[in-house]
Structure 1
């Protein structure tokens, strides 16, 4: 039996942009994607700490070292610039292996950069 479990988490980053007229997704600084063990086009859940919104989208690689967190398309309506969000990704894993699994969790600073 397989279960869905937390694979990666980017904890408490600040929204730097919101682009309504875009196909859709979340653009994340490539440094953060790498550190969180996430890849471009990966399905993610986004939680907005400021307003309680929770939605799914996929990642797009942002320019490395910029701290970019940009919500694109309809997701742009679920955030305001400066909102704090958390980004989660999940994986399927055998139940027996799940007990030993350790997700990758990163805690960027207030400028969305790794300390």
Structure 2
């Protein structure tokens, strides 16, 4: 079994940090449902400003509120306005990898969804894997290491 990404809220911004509430992260149910995050599910949280990485569980806030509230000890890792990456995961057999399609939502500063992406892994004819990021229409987007067709930095010929 391999642990892989199941869904992701990428660039969602912290709306509040509540040190006095007992643990968790409070998220808008609309965002959770669309990305496939469940109430009480453990998620990894990565703060894009500070680099802090934490793990906590999801509780649902008010529908339509676009909230992202860090509670309890997690509140010490983030400030309102910080952009986060919130990711859930699933364990799959390697044979299931190509059938898994993680959903990724991207956000603006007001936590409005700006993009809906899907990750796709395919098996190559030589037995290796390829990875794609697909937009809402299913078109492949550039993968960062391949932007502009250049070779990743730090690699010798």
TM-score interval for Structure 1 and Structure 2 normalised by the shorter chain: over 0.9
What are the Cα deviations for residues 47-80 of structure 1, in whole angstroms up to 9, with x where unaligned? 0000000010000001111110000000000001
User: Structure 1 unaligned runs (5+)?
Assistant: none
Shift of 1:109: 2.6
Asked if 1:114 is matched to 2:113, the reply is yes
RMSD over aligned Cα atoms? 1.0
Moved over 2 A (4+): none
2-structure distance, mates of 1:64, 1:35:
12
Which structure has the greater CA radius of gyration? 2
Q: Does 1:20 align with 2:7?
A: no
Task: Spell out the pairing of 1:82-97 with structure 2 (5 A cutoff).
Answer: 82-97=81-96
CA distance in 1, matches of 2:36, 2:74: 23
Aligned equivalents of 1:23 and 1:98: distance in 2?
36
The equivalent of 2:75 in structure 1 is 76
Aligned residues of 1:32 and 1:113 also touching (Cα < 8 A): no
User: Could you say which residue in structure 2 is the equivalent of 1:53?
Assistant: 52
User: Could you say what secondary structure the match of 1:107 adopts?
Assistant: strand
Give TM-score scaled by structure 1 length. 0.94
* Unaligned 5+ runs, structure 2: 115-157
SS in 1 for 2:104: strand
- How many correspondences in the alignment? 114
